[in-house]
């Protein structure tokens, strides 16, 4: 009887240690599951660089966990979803990032995010708490959300941003607007890619992702978009229709430069500082813009 009581007391004294150990093991299992889920999405990001555009992410039962993990469960169609965007350059580089709206994540940097480590000469990423991410996990979807986007270019050129894959609420018609704050253009990537011109270097504040448009932004999307903006030392003339000719005049009205080129994007270089008048012809229409070097 005494031995039995001593054994019982010993087992009871061990309970807190056993409970702590079980809790630690459960935490480790959860962390491993989360890591595995992030690795799968990382593989998707990597593989998307070598595949053609697909509109759905494919998962099978072998990829699902035994518990209610956040990544492999069927998404709530109104609050959960994910998409991958790809940046392509004219010199054949590709970079991709993913945004994943899922229960349990936050808008701050956390374990649901993956940093853009060891960035090469070109990069494409989102930003959270100043961290550059190739996978950004975010809390349940909010149509008012704004996702800052950064890009790095090795050299000057034309670049394209396109929707590569999507899942959940983004398969149900939710728009994904890319806002170019330099040109003021909003592009619904669900309907097609966006092409732009940029100089070499890195920008963390030119682009953002939004999911709804205000009245002014809607008008910007619908109208003909003739734009002239500064990019480094150059001026960029851009329209949604081909520009056949660009002429530059000084303040005295003298023509100092003519560019005959059929393109939607034309770069203008000016040698001297001053005030100029830019005149562009595009499919029967003429546009004028004052520029200052």
CA 43 to chain centre: 17
Higher local confidence (pLDDT), 130 or 84:
84
| pLDDT the model gives residue 239 | 87
- In this predicted model, what pLDDT tens digit does every residue of 142-166 receive, in sequence order? 999 999 999 999 888 889 999 999 9
Torsion angle of the four alpha carbons 88, 92, 95, 96, in this order, in degrees rounded to the nearest 10? 60
Confidence of residue 76 (pLDDT cuts 50, 70, 90): low
Percent of the chain with pLDDT over 90: 34
- Which residues partner with 124 through β-bridges? 151
- Say if residues 155 and 91 touch (Cβ distance below 8 Å): yes
Higher local confidence (pLDDT), 85 or 5:
85
204: its two tokens? 């963390």
- Say if residues 70 and 100 touch (Cβ distance below 8 Å): no
Stretch(es) of the chain classified as CATH 2.60.40.10: 227-292
Strands (E) across the chain are located at: 81-89, 94-101, 114-115, 123-128, 131-138, 146-153, 157-168, 177-180, 185-188, 194-198, 201-210, 227-231, 234-249, 255-268, 275-282, 285-292
Q: Which of 42, 46, 133 is nearest to 95 (CA)?
A: 46
Report DSSP state, residue 75: P
- Please return the burial class of 163, using the count of CB atoms within 10 Å of its CB with bins 0-12, 13-18 and 19+: buried
Mean pLDDT of all residues in the chain?
A: 77
137: its two tokens? 């996990």
Domain 227-292 has CATH 2.60.40.10: yes
Q: How far apart are CA 127 and CA 130, in angstroms?
A: 6
- Give the three-class secondary structure for 44: helix
- Give the three-class secondary structure for 169: helix
Q: List b or e across 51-66, with b for residues whose CB sees 16 or more CB atoms inside 10 angstroms.
A: eeeeeebeeeeeeebe
Could you tell me the maximum CA-CA distance found in the chain, to the nearest angstrom?
A: 113
Mean pLDDT of 135-148: 93
Mean pLDDT of 79-99: 91
- Which residues partner with 281 through β-bridges? 245, 286
| pLDDT the model gives residue 224 | 59
Tokens 């940097």 — which residue? 109
């Amino acid at each position: 009887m005494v031995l039995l009581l001593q054994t019982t007391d010993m087992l009871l004294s061990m309970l807190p240690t056993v409970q702590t150990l079980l809790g630690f093991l459960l935490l480790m299992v959860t962390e491993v599951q989360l890591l595995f889920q992030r690795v799968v999405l990382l593989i998707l990001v990597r593989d998307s660089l070598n595949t053609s555009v697909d509109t759905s992410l494919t998962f099978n039962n072998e990829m699902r966990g035994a518990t209610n993990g956040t990544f492999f469960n069927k998404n709530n169609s109104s609050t959960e979803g994910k998409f991958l965007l790809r940046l392509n350059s004219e010199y054949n580089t590709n970079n991709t990032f993913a945004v994943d709206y899922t229960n349990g994540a936050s808008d701050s940097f956390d374990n649901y995010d993956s940093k853009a480590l060891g960035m090469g000469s070109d990069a494409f990423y989102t930003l959270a708490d100043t961290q550059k991410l190739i996978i950004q996990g975010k809390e349940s979807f909010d149509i008012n959300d704004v996702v800052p986007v950064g890009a790095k270019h090795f050299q000057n050129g034309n670049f394209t941003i396109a929707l590569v894959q999507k899942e959940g609420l983004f398969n149900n018609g939710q728009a994904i607007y890319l806002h170019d704050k330099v040109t003021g253009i909003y592009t619904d990537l669900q309907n097609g890619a966006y092409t732009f011109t940029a100089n070499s270097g890195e920008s963390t504040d030119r682009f953002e992702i939004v999911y709804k448009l205000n009245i002014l932004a809607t008008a910007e999307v619908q109208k003909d978009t003739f734009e002239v903006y500064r990019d480094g030392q150059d001026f960029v003339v851009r329209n949604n229709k081909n520009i056949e000719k660009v002429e530059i005049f000084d303040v005295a009205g003298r023509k100092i430069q003519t560019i005959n080129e059929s393109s939607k994007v034309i770069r203008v270089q000016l040698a001297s500082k001053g005030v100029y008048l830019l005149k562009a012809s595009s499919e029967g229409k003429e546009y004028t813009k004052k520029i200052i070097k």
